[in-house]
Amino acid sequence: MSAPVLHAVFGQPVAHSLSPYIHAAFAAQFGLAIDYRRIEAGPDDFAAALAAFATAAGRGANVTLPLKELAASLCAEVTPRARRAGSVNTLTRTSGGWAGDTTDGIGLLQDLGARHGVSPVGLRVLMIGAGGAARAAARALLDADVAALVIANRTPARAQRLVEALADPRASASAPDAVPGRFDLVVNASAAGHQGQPPAFAAAAMDSGSVAYDLSYGAAAAPFLALATSAGVRTALDGLGMLVEQAAASFALWHGHPPDTAPVYAGLRARLA
């Protein structure tokens, strides 16, 4: 019997990650043997940790906060969509080094549309945050034909740099205290929830016609979803479905098998409940 294929998720913090459970469940659908680990790494030690993982015969990895932009710079090659997003969340080992891709945007759109029936087409969208996950999500939403995308970040200059990278007339940057009006879809891509602090300014951007979506899940999403509920939104969603769908896209890249996400999502939702 061959040894399990080595995979991992890198991030900081990463102890809470559900990725090992998700990928084990996907592998079981096809009778595959994998060894999927959590590896704690910050920006200063990520390159060394990734090199050690490669030496240990690591074949594929996921990347989460705060490493997605840095991951792109460590790749020998990146896919066009990852290059356009300036963000990598999926690494595949090749003979030439690491190949980078991003499946975050795929996961977001699949969860919004297929699972929750929310089409981004023609929506006015507020994106809170300008990190790696925000970059991929912003690119995907523009490609899905939103009407307008406003990016608000606690450091306005970073939001402006993302807008310039997106190079799309529908995208604009805003300071948190100057967000213009209400939005059909408000996406929280910031890490504020990990510190228990929702972006309070977002409340004024939501009403009963809005959909609120946090890219995080569990405790990290709770502050923003509570804020959205108090603002009277019609739908408040966490990113658990996005997590499962982006993982499925990564799994298919590594193993060539698109997994069934429905039972895995249901199991995780019950587990979190």
How far the first Cα of the chain sits from its last, in Å, is 37
The verdict on whether residue 190 carries a ligand-binding annotation is no
154 is in an annotated binding site: yes
- 62 is known to lie in a ligand binding site: no
- Ligand-binding site membership of 216 (annotated): no
Does residue 261 have a known ligand-binding role? no
**CA distances for 272 relative to 129, 204, 226, 267, 269, angstroms:** 25, 29, 17, 9, 5
**32: annotated active-site residue:** no
CB 15 within 8 A of CB 54: no
The CA distance from 246 to 242, in Å, is 6
Asked if residue 102 belongs to a known ligand binding site, the reply is no
- What residue spans of the chain are helical by DSSP H? 19-30, 46-55, 68-73, 80-85, 104-110, 132-143, 156-166, 222-230, 240-255, 262-272
Determine whether the annotation assigns residue 265 to a binding site.
Answer: no
97 among annotated binding-site residues: no
Q: Which of 7, 23, 68, 135 is catalytic?
A: 68
Q: Annotated catalytic sites, by residue?
A: 68
Question: Which residues carry a binding-site annotation for shikimate?
Answer: 17-19, 64, 89, 104, 217, 246
Question: Which residues carry a binding-site annotation for NADP(+)?
Answer: 129-133, 153-158, 215, 239
Question: Which residues carry a binding-site annotation?
Answer: 17-19, 64, 89, 104, 129-133, 153-158, 215, 217, 239, 246
